[in-house]
Amino acid sequence: MPPHMAIGADPTKIAGATLGKGLVRRVWRFAKPYQWLLVGFIAVIVAAAVIGLLPALLIRRIIDDALPDGDRGLVTTAAALMVLVAFVEAGLSLAERWWSSRIGEGLIFDLRVALFDHVQRMPIAFFTRTQTGALISRLNNDVIGAQRAVTGTLGSVISNVVVLVTTLTAMFVLQWQLTLLSLLLLPLFLLPTKRVGRRLQAMTREQMDLNSSMNTTMTERFNVSGALLVKLFGRHDQESGDFADRAGRVRDIGVLTAVYSRTFFIALALVGAVGTALIYWLGGQLVISGTITVGTLVALGTYVAQIYTPLTSLTNARVDLMTAFVSFDRVFEVLDTEHQVTDRPGAVDLVDPVGEIELHDVWFRYPAAADVSLASLELDAGGRDGLSTEASEPVLKGLSAALPAGSLTALVGPSGAGKTTISSLIPRLYDVTGGAVTIDGHDVRDLTQRSLRAAIGVVSQDPHLFHDTVGDNLLYARPGATREEIEAACRRAQIHDVIAALPDGYDTVVGERGYRLSGGEKQRLAIARMLLKDPAIVVLDEATSHLDSENEAAVQDALEEALAGRTSIVIAHRLSTIRAADQILVIDEGAIVERGTHDDLVDVPGGLYADLYRTLVRGDVVGEPADA
């Protein structure tokens, strides 16, 4: 269903799934580790409900027995017991809060860790489509909402049932006729209560989706790239206006929710007032006629005020629970998204890799959007419904090639030919559609992802750095590396002197995505990170494209030494990188159209590489390398 739910929509349908027994079972699986804590929680609730009956009974004893007989001792005893009950109720309230928080915080922990772990293992295609803010909303707001469903709403239902049962039992024992009278008014507001509850549920869902959309907007606009784009295009007013529209809808929903909630309280107060008046009116008649005592009437009046709250809540309990379980449904929606790239049963570790790579009749097409993503994580509250189920046209078409261990292979070809896609299949960022990619004779799908990726180092055209120190960004490659090893890797990448000149050296925070560093400095830092990892296979995707000629020459010297003995795959614009390759694979429209060394291909009449080479030479002359 579209995220923007209309008020009054069917509240039993949320995110395309029915909130029924299946959802309750899944919720219970998450709550089951806390079953004994739940038992303690319920026991405290029951004890509090039973203890809550005593003050009215003690008042009845004072009025009916102590006062007529002038028994000062009984008055003192009853008063002392009332004080004791108050202290016991306070203790039980604290205990109830302790049990509740233990269960709730445990559930938050379990759900957050499960969500984080699941999302981290999603294929890269998932992240290319998903709105970051929507994911963060699931990890924060919805996880907390799911916790409230168990410890808040569920606890409230249990408490209301126990209070209602114990209070009604006490009332029937005292005077069943008056008890029945107190219940006669309840049907007068059952239907309005149910109707309002349905509207509240629909508004809750819409409010969650709008908050998720605003989270996405803030996440995208408040990072450096987003803020820069807004400024360069002068879109401040439009962005503020769009955000204000959504925030305004959340405001309006908040006002409506407050009004509907207040309606509940007003209805409860009115019915309680009328019910209490009826009890005292008829009860007074019975006292005058000698049928019941004054103490009984006072006790019944006290109890009647206690039953309308749980009665009102329980009449709408199903809708309340369903509304609260919206968060669980949104969490499970993400957890149910399948991992497209997983370890096969019996997958083995890649041990002591030498880096011999082969492509065997490799075909690849990008998966359909519906297979790797969720509409609710891509689209804002006003988005279209559903995702495409159609996969892309083949991007790679029957590629076969051998990349010997320790060799340097350059991938060249027009933009969009499939070069980066080939490099993505080797570490299994995607799985082939047909054929196989092997390393040291092992199909990469038969290897554990952990060992496969430990053997591969990648430096991309736009390397990512975390908002952390230079040192910690480097340690991400090898957490146990010493400072000496870090500095050695940075010297080989020609970046050590730059880092040493920073205000705090290796402890300098690089900023979000490394924006405190230039493009060339980020790339050299990424190369140092790769060198620190010390992989058997290296993929360089335009890794020197942001370097000036002087820095490029220095890094090329460092890479030549560092890549010795490693299998290297280079997607490069730079002529110097291509000419040094042991083999060149020329890719066009997803197929290998030429292969050989630079000398083999440069003079082929009408050859694509020869044309690209001439473009590269012209690019070198003007200082603007062309896309290869």
- Where do runs of H (alpha helix) occur along 52-129? 54-61, 67-69, 72-120, 124-129
Residues 579 and 616 in one domain: yes
Domain C-terminal end among 490, 513, 534: 534
**Predicted confidence band of residue 382 (pLDDT cuts 50, 70, 90):** very low
pLDDT in tens, 227-243: 767 766 677 787 788 88
Instruction: Determine, yes or no, domain membership for 90.
Output: yes
Percent of the chain with pLDDT over 70: 79
Instruction: Supply the pLDDT for residue 204.
Output: 72
Instruction: Supply the pLDDT for residue 353.
Output: 92
Residues 170 and 112 in one domain: yes
pLDDT in tens, 156-206: 788 888 888 888 889 888 888 888 877 776 666 565 666 666 676 677 767
Pick the more confident residue, 383 or 305.
305
**Predicted confidence band of residue 558 (pLDDT cuts 50, 70, 90):** low
Residues 323 and 420 in one domain: no
**Predicted confidence band of residue 434 (pLDDT cuts 50, 70, 90):** very high
pTM of the entire predicted model: 0.70
Q: Which of 22-26, 104-108, 366-370, 408-412 has the lowest mean pLDDT?
A: 22-26
Instruction: Tell me the two tokens of residue 176.
Output: 């069943």
Domain C-terminal end among 282, 317, 335: 335
Mean pLDDT over 344-357 rounds to 92
Residues 411 and 502 in one domain: no
Instruction: Determine, yes or no, domain membership for 387.
Output: no
Residues 310 and 360 in one domain: no
DSSP states along 485-530: HHHHHHHHTT-HHHHHTSTTGGG-B--GGGTTS-HHHHHHHHHHHH
Residue 621 CB coordination number (10 Å): 8
CATH of the domain at 475: 3.40.50.300
pLDDT in tens, 55-90: 988 888 899 888 888 888 989 999 999 999 999 999
DSSP states along 426-456: TTTSS--SEEEEEETTEEGGGB-HHHHHHTE
Instruction: Determine, yes or no, domain membership for 307.
Output: yes
The separation between CA 592 and the C-alpha centre of its own chain, rounded to angstroms, equals 40
Instruction: Supply the pLDDT for residue 128.
Output: 77
Instruction: Determine, yes or no, domain membership for 36.
Output: yes
Which residue carries 């799934």 as its tokens?
Answer: 17
Pick the more confident residue, 481 or 550.
481
**Predicted confidence band of residue 357 (pLDDT cuts 50, 70, 90):** very high
Residue 398 CB coordination number (10 Å): 15
Instruction: Determine, yes or no, domain membership for 470.
Output: yes
CA atoms of 166 and 153, how far apart (whole Å): 20
Domain C-terminal end among 473, 507, 534: 534
Question: Cβ distance 363 to 433 under 8 Å?
Answer: yes
Domain count within the chain: 3
Q: Which of 218, 180, 255 minimizes the C-alpha distance to 7?
A: 255
Instruction: Name the DSSP letter for residue 19.
Output: -
Q: What are φ and ψ of residue 459, in 5° steps?
A: -125, 115
Mean pLDDT over 615-627 rounds to 46
CA atoms in the 13 A half-sphere facing the CB of 185: 22
DSSP states along 289-321: TTSS-HHHHHHHHHHHHHHHHHHHHHHTHHHHH
Residue 378 CB coordination number (10 Å): 16
User: Would the pLDDT of 622 be above 50?
Assistant: no
Contacts of residue 63, Cβ cutoff 8 Å, sequence gap at least 6:
293, 294, 295, 298
User: Would the pLDDT of 543 be above 50?
Assistant: yes
Instruction: Determine, yes or no, domain membership for 574.
Output: yes
What radius of gyration do the chain's Cα atoms show?
35
Mean pLDDT over 252-267 rounds to 76
Residues 349 and 489 in one domain: no
pLDDT in tens, 490-522: 988 888 888 888 888 888 888 766 667 777 788
Residues 277 and 330 in one domain: yes
Residues 471 and 358 in one domain: no
Residues 519 and 608 in one domain: no
Instruction: Determine, yes or no, domain membership for 424.
Output: yes
Residues 564 and 527 in one domain: no
Which residue carries 């996440």 as its tokens?
Answer: 219
**Which three-class secondary structure state does DSSP give residue 241?**
helix
Instruction: Supply the pLDDT for residue 137.
Output: 74
Residues 226 and 355 in one domain: no
**Structural domain of 484:** 464-534
Residues 509 and 546 in one domain: no
CATH of the domain at 21: 1.20.1560.10
The separation between CA 501 and the C-alpha centre of its own chain, rounded to angstroms, equals 39
